[in-house]
């Protein structure tokens, strides 16, 4: 039995998130498992580094599976990609020791959220970015992002359906950059709660529209109540871009996806 780590790129628009759900609900995980099972000639179970929401995208989602089947790396990727839908693609594969686990060995996860701030909606960026028509105060939003760095109780920033046992998370960085009409939030933490990034972005948009000032973030943290925060930003602009692992595993770190996901922060 051989353990394999894989890197996956997908557009999440037509899926109800990463995780396999009840019958009739299409997920990224189940879609890949079905194809890998054909290539391996036995049932394959995938374990992912994270659980993206419905409509959320990924450029390098790390997952692993076990198989006794003898295939070359090229054979695994070529055979799987030839049968996957066009909006899901394996980008790399690596043979691992049994002590590797895509979820439990990850030390941090990283997301980027892309806002397109312009008066008129873009056609070619449909479902790839979140379009905000009203002008946003970038500098106010950028200052507010620093309030999310460090260890905090994110109770006010998680969905009611969140299944995590506790809301404490450590955010190692939270940066906002601007490139023309694009605003890109880059955030990395030891873990994320359900809708946490989207709720953070929703609050930043409120600040950018001067609905609230930067002290609004302190008030939300203190409330420890989801009702104290603002809207949940759309899934369209959210991308899972990286899971970090101990160097001993030596996993590929690839720059994939649209150009805005590779701009420096």
CA distances in angstroms from 191 to 8, 108, 184, listed in the order given: 19, 6, 20
Active site residue 53: yes
CB of 74 closer than 8 Å to CB of 21: no
Split at pLDDT 50, 70, 90, the class of 259 is confident
- CA–CA dist 138, 160 (Å, integer): 29
- CA–CA dist 225, 169 (Å, integer): 16
Domain ranges of the chain: 2-105, 108-240
Long-range contacts from 93-96, C-beta under 8 angstroms, 24+ separation = 93/4, 93/5, 93/6, 93/7, 94/4, 94/5, 94/6, 94/250, 94/251, 94/252, 95/2, 95/3, 95/4, 96/3, 96/4, 96/5, 96/64, 96/249
Helix/strand/coil for 132:
strand
**Which two three-digit tokens encode residue 194?**
């359900």
- Please tell me the predicted confidence (pLDDT) of residue 254: 75
- Closest to 7 in 3D by CA, of 240, 238, 258, 264: 240
Bridge partners (DSSP) of residue 66 are: 3
Note whether 2-105 and 108-240 share their fold.
yes
Tens digits of per-residue pLDDT, 21-52?
777 789 999 999 999 999 999 999 999 998 89
Which is catalytic among the residues 53, 186, 206, 236?
Answer: 53
- Please tell me the predicted confidence (pLDDT) of residue 255: 65
Least confident of 21-25, 81-85, 180-184, 236-240: 21-25
Bridge partners (DSSP) of residue 60 are: none
Bridge partners (DSSP) of residue 168 are: 153
CATH of domain 2-105: 3.30.70.580
Tens digits of per-residue pLDDT, 160-186?
888 888 999 999 999 999 999 999 999
Its CATH architecture, for the domain 108-240, is 2-Layer Sandwich (3.30)
Query: How large is the average pLDDT for residues 183-200?
Result: 95
Q: Distance from CA of residue 208 to its chain's centroid?
A: 23
């Amino acid at each position: 039995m051989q353990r394999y780590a894989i890197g996956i790129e997908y557009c999440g628009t037509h899926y109800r998130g990463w995780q396999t759900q009840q019958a009739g609900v299409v997920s990224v995980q189940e879609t890949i498992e079905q194809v890998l099972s054909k290539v391996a000639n036995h049932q394959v179970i995938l374990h992912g580094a994270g659980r993206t929401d419905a409509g959320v995208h990924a450029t390098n989602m790390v997952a692993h599976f076990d198989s006794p089947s003898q295939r070359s790396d090229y054979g695994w990727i070529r055979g799987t990609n030839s049968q996957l839908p066009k909006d899901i693609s394996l980008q790399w594969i690596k043979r691992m020791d049994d002590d590797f686990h895509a979820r439990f060995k990850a030390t941090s996860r990283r997301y980027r959220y892309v806002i397109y701030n312009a008066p008129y909606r873009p056609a070619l960026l449909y479902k790839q970015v979140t379009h905000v028509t009203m002008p946003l105060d970038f500098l106010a939003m950028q200052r507010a992002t620093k309030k999310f760095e460090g260890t905090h109780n994110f109770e006010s920033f998680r969905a009611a359906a969140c299944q995590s046992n506790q809301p404490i998370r450590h955010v190692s960085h939270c940066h906002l950059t601007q490139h023309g009409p694009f605003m890109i939030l880059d955030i990395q933490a030891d873990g994320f709660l359900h809708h946490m990034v989207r709720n953070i972005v929703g609050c930043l948009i409120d600040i950018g529209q001067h609905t609230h000032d930067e002290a609004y973030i302190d008030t939300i943290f203190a409330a420890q109540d989801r009702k104290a925060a603002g809207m949940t930003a759309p899934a369209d602009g959210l991308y899972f871009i990286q899971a970090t692992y101990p160097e001993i595993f030596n996993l590929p770190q690839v720059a994939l996806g649209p150009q805005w996901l590779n701009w420096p922060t």
